[in-house]
């Protein structure tokens, strides 16, 4: 396994990484654009304007620049793009407006990319991984927000969802992403998809062994 630390808002660094991958591995078959930050919580008019806009920059600009840097070689290989979206971008998420608006933009960006890239054989999906217990969600499990703050209110909501069994198993989320990456659901290009999308779960079950089903 090879890793490289690159700022997703640094276009020059991203293009350098793309060039190195092309040189050493011949190019990229699947691009997962997982740029994200939750941004400030609370009523929009109480948010710090710089923090609000910074969340949009991280989520949208980071996703766009990553795609921009890699798309030339993705076209060469008729590859796939998976952008990390969120239910927050599909429906309103009051008191997390920066994140909600940013993820809505990611969904629309992916929809447009899919249409533009269709003649080139590249597929693109806006994938909502679900309400997870890893990644950004760990701050809800382990964080100690200030009592009475909006961060605390959102943490309480998350913990209620978790206790009620409404978080998404990591294995289910991973399986959905792998199926998209493998091309098993190319007919969904341009769509917002979740790990429990019928097309993905039916494929997952049909490919499971008797002991796994």
- pLDDT tens figures, 165-191: 999 999 999 999 999 999 989 999 999
- Give one word for 194, left, alpha or beta, with left for phi > 0 and alpha for psi -120 to 50: beta
Angle at the Cα of 107 from the Cα atoms of 101 and 112, rounded to 5 degrees: 125
Contacts of 44 (CB under 8 A, 6+ apart): 52, 97, 98
pLDDT at position 193, please? 95
Q: In which residue ranges of the chain is pLDDT below 50?
A: 205-213
> Could you state, in order of their start, the residue ranges of all structural domains in the chain?
11-130+169-195, 132-167
Q: How far is CA 48 from the centre of its chain?
A: 24
Cα–Cα distance, 114 to 12 (Å, whole number): 24
Burial 50-77 (b: 16+ CB within 10 A, else e): eebebbbebbbbbbbbbbebbbebbeee
Cα–Cα distance, 201 to 117 (Å, whole number): 26
The token pair at 173 is: 């989320």
The burial of 35, by beta-carbon neighbours within 10 Å (0-12 exposed, 13-18 middle, 19 or more buried), is given as: buried
pLDDT at position 211, please? 36
Cα–Cα distance, 84 to 64 (Å, whole number): 12
Per the DSSP assignment, residues forming a β-bridge with 101 are none
* CATH superfamily of the domain spanning 11-130+169-195: NAD(P)-binding Rossmann-like Domain (3.40.50.720)
pLDDT at position 137, please? 82
Task: Give the other-Cβ count within 10 Å of 158's Cβ.
Answer: 19
């Amino acid at each position: 396994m090879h890793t490289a630390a690159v700022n997703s808002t640094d276009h020059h660094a991203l293009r350098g990484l793309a060039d190195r991958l092309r040189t050493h591995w011949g190019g990229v078959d699947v691009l997962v654009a997982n740029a994200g930050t939750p941004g400030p919580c609370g009523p929009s008019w109480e948010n710090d304007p710089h923090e609000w806009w910074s969340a949009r920059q991280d989520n949208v600009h980071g996703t766009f620049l990553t795609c921009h840097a890699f798309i030339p070689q993705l076209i060469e290989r008729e590859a796939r793009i998976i952008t990390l979206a969120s239910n927050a971008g599909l429906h309103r998420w009051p008191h997390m407006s920066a994140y909600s608006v940013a993820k809505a933009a990611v969904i629309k960006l992916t929809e447009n990319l899919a249409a533009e890239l269709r003649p080139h054989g590249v597929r693109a999906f806006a994938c909502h991984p679900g309400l997870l217990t890893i990644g950004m969600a760990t701050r809800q499990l382990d964080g100690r927000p200030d009592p009475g703050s909006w961060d605390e209110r959102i943490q309480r909501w998350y913990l209620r969802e978790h206790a009620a069994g409404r978080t998404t198993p990591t294995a289910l989320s991973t399986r959905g992403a792998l199926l998209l990456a493998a091309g098993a659901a190319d007919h969904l290009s341009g769509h917002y998809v979740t790990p429990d999308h019928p097309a993905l779960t039916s494929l997952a079950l049909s490919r499971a062994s008797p002991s796994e089903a």
